[in-house]
Amino acid sequence: MNPIKTLWQGKNADSAARRDRVAYPLTIAGIVILLPLLANELPKSDPGLGIQIVFLILLLALNGFALFRKKRSLFSHALVVIPMTAGIVMSVRGEQGFYAALFCYPAVIYFYAALSRQMAHGCAVIMLATVSSTIYSQINADIAAIFGATLLLTIIVINLVFNALSDMTEEVPGVDDPLSKILDKDKLEKHLQRAIKNSKKHNTRVSGLRIELENYANIKTVYGQDAADNAIKGAALVIRKRLRNHDTLFRYGDSGFFALLPNTPEEGSLIASEQLRTLVMKAELADKDMGCISIGAGEYVPDETPQSWVDAVNDLAKAAVNNGGNQIVRRHPGRTPPAPSPGAEAPARAAAATASSANSI
């Protein structure tokens, strides 16, 4: 999971929440800057610019208050392009002249920090075209050309910086597990702690999938180690393509994986599990009868430790394998598991789970 890439290009709710957190301090800064401008415009006979500033401050304040309360922004941050552009145009036509156009530069920085990449492009183009044409008609063509070129260069530099940061912060899974090109088990606890902390902070739910590639030992025996390695690589590739940008996949043991699914209830993890089971079967990693997986799907239960959560989900996967394989076993959060009977095998520890075939989900 690349946080810069998710912030820059992501289109899901998690990406929007991250952009909101970035937008909050920018919103406060914008209000602080606009208040003196409003005080300067209020005494004037023409209230047009003052009204635009009031509208802009009100829009920023409402969003800022929502973000302060850890809620989603009330309005799209893209809406600020309307009063912001109108105010700059009115200022260029008024006393400030060209100097008012300088506010376009921090404005485009706000767009790219608070909006998705596509939305930021649209807002920046609107401001560039509108203000440049106003300067052309009110001042002269040379200044309009210089302004347009420098603002366009600013937009290009912002894009280059974000792309560079995305590349620099890209997690390289191959460094951890060169075979499957995903993170290894040693990184799991750190990510679990972070996911649990975020789920408590934002009152969201988080689930985990313990995925076991069945018949791995048979593949290794019948086809050799190279075929077994290829099966692991193929399964990892199939699973990663199905997961979302903010999900994280780990290598777990010789023949398994663990998928961390933030902002996902157990019901959502079951849907993902069934899709993964079907995709891996269609992939035919080594042989049509060997591309099967069993999955333990469990939502995090408040107040349990990351290790106890992993152990519980791991037991679910074992139960799925021992119950015939090629199936999904779910966990029921909040239900107290019965004590295992003497001599029971490890899957009995997952008595809080319901073993069901994939077709019954």
Which residues contact residue 182 at a Cβ distance below 8 angstroms, ignoring those fewer than 6 apart?
173, 176, 236, 240, 249, 250, 251, 257
301-315: average pLDDT: 92
pLDDT of residue 102: 92
Mean pLDDT of the chain: 81
Between β-strands 207-213 and 256-261, what pairing exists: parallel, antiparallel or unpaired?
A: antiparallel
Res 167 pLDDT > 90: no
Between β-strands 293-299 and 327-331, what pairing exists: parallel, antiparallel or unpaired?
A: parallel
Res 333 pLDDT > 80: no
In percent, the amount of the chain with pLDDT more than 70 equals 82
Q: Which amino acid is at 117?
A: R
How does DSSP assign 264-310, residue by residue? --HHHHHHHHHHHHHHHHHH-SSSTTT--EEEEEEEPPTT--HHHHH
Contact 159, 120 (CB under 8 A): no
pLDDT of residue 41: 77
Which residues contact residue 3 at a Cβ distance below 8 angstroms, ignoring those fewer than 6 apart?
18, 169
Distance from the Cα of residue 118 to its chain's centroid: 16
What phi and psi, each to the nearest 5 degrees, are found at residue 303?
A: 80, -5
pLDDT of residue 356: 40
Which residues contact residue 147 at a Cβ distance below 8 angstroms, ignoring those fewer than 6 apart?
98, 101, 104, 131, 132, 135
DSSP state of 232: H
Q: How far apart are CA 149 and CA 54, in angstroms?
A: 30
Q: Which amino acid is at 83?
A: P
pLDDT of residue 63: 81
Lowest mean pLDDT among 38-47, 185-194, 205-214: 38-47
Res 3 pLDDT > 60: no
- Map tokens 């199905």 to a residue: 242
DSSP state of 356: E
Contact 359, 331 (CB under 8 A): no
Which residues contact residue 359 at a Cβ distance below 8 angstroms, ignoring those fewer than 6 apart?
none
Over residues 242-273, the pLDDT tens digits come to 999 889 999 998 899 999 999 999 999 999 99
The pair of structure tokens assigned to 337 is 């598991």
Confidence label for 1 from pLDDT (cuts 50, 70 and 90): very low
Res 290 pLDDT > 70: no
Q: How far apart are CA 353 and CA 347, in angstroms?
A: 10
Q: How far apart are CA 317 and CA 291, in angstroms?
A: 16
pLDDT of residue 354: 40
* Domain annotation for the chain: domains and CATH numbers: 3-168 (no CATH), 173-360 (3.30.70.270)
Q: How far apart are CA 168 and CA 289, in angstroms?
A: 41
What phi and psi, each to the nearest 5 degrees, are found at residue 166?
A: -60, -40
pLDDT of residue 257: 95
Over residues 5-16, the pLDDT tens digits come to 544 455 555 566
Over residues 99-150, the pLDDT tens digits come to 989 999 998 988 888 888 888 899 999 999 999 999 999 999 999 999 999 9
Q: How far apart are CA 317 and CA 338, in angstroms?
A: 18
Higher per-residue pLDDT: 133 or 39: 133
Closest by alpha carbon to 76, among 91, 87, 66? 66
pLDDT of residue 132: 95
Which residues contact residue 112 at a Cβ distance below 8 angstroms, ignoring those fewer than 6 apart?
120, 124, 158, 159, 162
pLDDT of residue 33: 83
Most confident by average pLDDT, 40-54, 69-83, 112-126, 128-142: 128-142
pLDDT of residue 14: 56
Q: Output Rg (C-alpha) for the chain, integer angstroms.
A: 27
Residue 337 CA: distances (Å) to CA of 46, 241, 354: 72, 34, 11
Confidence label for 349 from pLDDT (cuts 50, 70 and 90): very low
71-80: average pLDDT: 77
CA atoms within 13 A on the CB side of 234: 21
156-174: average pLDDT: 68
Over residues 57-66, the pLDDT tens digits come to 888 888 888 8
Q: Which amino acid is at 167?
A: D
Res 192 pLDDT > 90: yes
